[in-house]
């Protein structure tokens, strides 16, 4: 993995209008990078551009959706036209949802995978020709601690981030022949409006994101990893502890998660047990009652 200076490097950041993406654009510009900020919300991008321009940190912005093939082509063309190429792609765009899988629609899973995985992989595919010509080129995939350990009521989001982890590991080896680094950053809870932008929020236990790291802290850690060429970065003490327990004590992690789910659904579980006891009392043998049929001759 190469070490690099951000000053003068050409970056594309997706999901750049809010949260971690916005903080990444801000921090990278202040370190002298040339940044193309990409997001769906044109108004928020314009606000970001005007603020940084007023502070003498100009950026390029492009309203685009990573799930759109046409928008991905426009992203590549814009980077080529404005910068003459690309050095670093930061795949940050993402979406989530909470609620148990059994209660979710198939559409929810497909929407999450479309943004978090297919949007990321296809954006990467489109930018590879430019990255091959870049200076100390790198791809940075923003994952999550949910990509290291599946989290109840976040099964689809966890699945999408596990997919990002696997894709990144394989791609890292494949792109070694072109000296393109692939880095993964796994934030824990982060103080953003991510939960407000979820597709659905149906989990019984809501997570307080305001207890986590700031988006600015995540951005600084991400850019530091990029500068140092650090392959994997897991953030927050809780995130590192979760990664450790999941890797070395997976059975313990399973029991803790199951215990938490049972505590949340204790009334439902108690009702179901009572119904089973009542059914056994009515029919101790457990043999289904015989059905009577009549026949005519």
pLDDT of residue 170: 98
> CB-based contacts of 37: which residues, under 8 Å, 6+ apart?
13, 16, 17, 21, 25, 45, 48, 49, 59, 60, 61, 62
Interval 53-62: pLDDT, tens: 999 999 999 9
The verdict on 96 and 233 lying in the same domain is yes
pLDDT of residue 288: 67
The verdict on 67 and 208 lying in the same domain is yes
Q: Is residue 291 part of a domain?
A: no
The verdict on 117 and 264 lying in the same domain is no
Interval 152-211: pLDDT, tens: 888 999 999 999 999 999 999 999 999 999 999 999 877 666 666 665 666 555 655 556
The verdict on 103 and 178 lying in the same domain is yes
The verdict on 195 and 277 lying in the same domain is no
Q: Is residue 268 part of a domain?
A: yes
pLDDT of residue 136: 96
Look at the chain and report how many structural domains it folds into: 2
The verdict on 211 and 84 lying in the same domain is yes
Q: Is residue 35 part of a domain?
A: yes
Q: Is residue 21 part of a domain?
A: yes
The verdict on 165 and 64 lying in the same domain is yes
Opening angle at CA 225, ends 221 and 226, nearest 5: 120
The verdict on 157 and 258 lying in the same domain is no
State the chain's mean pLDDT as an integer.
Answer: 87
Give the domain CATH number at 230.
3.40.50.720
Q: Is residue 5 part of a domain?
A: no
The verdict on 183 and 193 lying in the same domain is yes
The verdict on 105 and 153 lying in the same domain is yes
- Residues with catalytic roles: 157
Spatial separation of the C-alpha atoms in residues 173 and 227, rounded to whole Å = 20
Q: Which residue has the higher pLDDT, 119 or 287?
A: 119
Please give the residue range of the domain that contains residue 274: 250-281
Q: Is residue 162 part of a domain?
A: yes
């Amino acid at each position: 993995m190469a070490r690099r200076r951000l000053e003068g490097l050409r970056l594309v950041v997706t999901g750049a209008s809010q949260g971690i993406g916005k903080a990444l654009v801000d921090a990278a510009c202040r370190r002298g990078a040339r940044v193309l900020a990409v997001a769906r919300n044109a108004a928020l991008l314009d606000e970001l551009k005007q603020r940084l321009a007023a502070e003498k940190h100009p950026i390029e912005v492009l309203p685009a959706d990573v799930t759109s093939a046409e928008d991905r082509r426009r992203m590549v063309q814009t980077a080529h036209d404005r910068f003459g190429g690309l050095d670093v792609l930061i795949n940050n765009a993402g979406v989530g949802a909470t609620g148990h899988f059994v209660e979710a629609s198939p559409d929810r899973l497909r929407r999450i995978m479309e943004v978090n995985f297919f949007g990321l992989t296809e954006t990467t595919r489109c930018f590879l020709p430019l990255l091959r010509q870049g200076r100390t080129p790198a791809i940075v995939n923003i994952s999550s601690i949910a990509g290291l350990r599946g989290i109840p009521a976040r099964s689809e989001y966890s699945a999408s981030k596990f997919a990002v982890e696997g894709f990144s590991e394989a791609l890292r080896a494949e792109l070694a022949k072109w000296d393109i680094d692939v880095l993964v950053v796994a934030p824990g809870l982060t103080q953003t409006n991510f939960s407000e932008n979820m597709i659905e929020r149906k989990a019984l236990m809501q997570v307080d994101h305001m207890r986590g790291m700031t988006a600015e802290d995540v951005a600084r850690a991400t850019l530091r990893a990029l500068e140092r060429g650090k392959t994997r970065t897991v953030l927050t003490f809780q995130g590192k502890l979760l990664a450790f327990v999941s890797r070395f004590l997976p059975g313990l992690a399973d029991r803790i998660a199951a215990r938490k789910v049972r505590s949340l659904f204790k009334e439902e579980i108690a009702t179901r047990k009572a119904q089973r006891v009542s059914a056994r009392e009515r029919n101790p043998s457990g043999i289904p009652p015989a059905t009577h049929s009549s026949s005519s001759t």
